[in-house]
């Protein structure tokens, strides 16, 4: 469920919002419906990573990876698909950490709420 929600919302919002919207969406989604910290991290990681790799391939394949190859050479990785994997990994890592933080934030607020009732 977390995977699908993050994938769809990030896909729609990245058409009009900056790249860092993945951080906000992952944090909010995992903060609301994340089941465990592990699920929050990996579902966010996989959703955004697959989204960015898929979208990069969608844009890059029709032009024979010309721009991706040039950017890969410019950054020093030499191969366009290596750049694609690095981009997917980094975006997934950012989203995964954000999702985990969202889950932990919710857990911290739940603990605070029960502490307030006890006192």
In this predicted structure, what is the pLDDT of residue 114?
A: 72
- Say which residue the tokens 């502490």 belong to: 115
DSSP 8-state symbol, 17: S
Q: Which structure tokens are listed for 61?
A: 């394949």
The pLDDT value recorded for residue 78 is 87
Secondary structure (3-state) at 62: helix
The confidence score (pLDDT) of residue 118 equals: 66
**For position 111, what pLDDT does the model report?**
83
Any idea which residue has 């699908």 for tokens? Answer: 4
How many beta carbons lie within 10 A of that of residue 113, not counting itself? 9
Tens-digit pLDDT string for the chain (119 aa): 999 999 999 999 999 999 999 999 999 999 999 999 999 999 999 999 999 999 999 999 999 999 999 999 999 988 999 999 999 999 999 999 999 999 999 999 988 777 666 65
Give rounded-to-5 percent helix, strand, coil for the chain. Answer: 85, 0, 15
pTM: 0.89
CB atoms closer than 10 angstroms to residue 55: 13
């Amino acid at each position: 469920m977390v995977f699908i929600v993050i994938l769809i919302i990030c896909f729609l919002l990245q058409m009009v919002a900056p790249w860092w919207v993945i951080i906000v969406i992952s944090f909010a989604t995992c903060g609301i419906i994340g089941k465990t910290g592990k699920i929050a991290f990996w579902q966010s990681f996989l959703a955004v990573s697959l989204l960015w790799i898929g979208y990069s391939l969608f844009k890059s394949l029709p032009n024979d990876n010309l721009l991706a190859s040039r950017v890969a050479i410019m950054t020093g990785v030499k191969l366009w698909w290596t750049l694609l994997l690095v981009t997917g990994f980094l975006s997934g890592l950012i989203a995964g950490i954000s999702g985990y933080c969202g889950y932990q934030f919710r857990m911290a607020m739940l603990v605070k709420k029960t502490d307030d009732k006890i006192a």
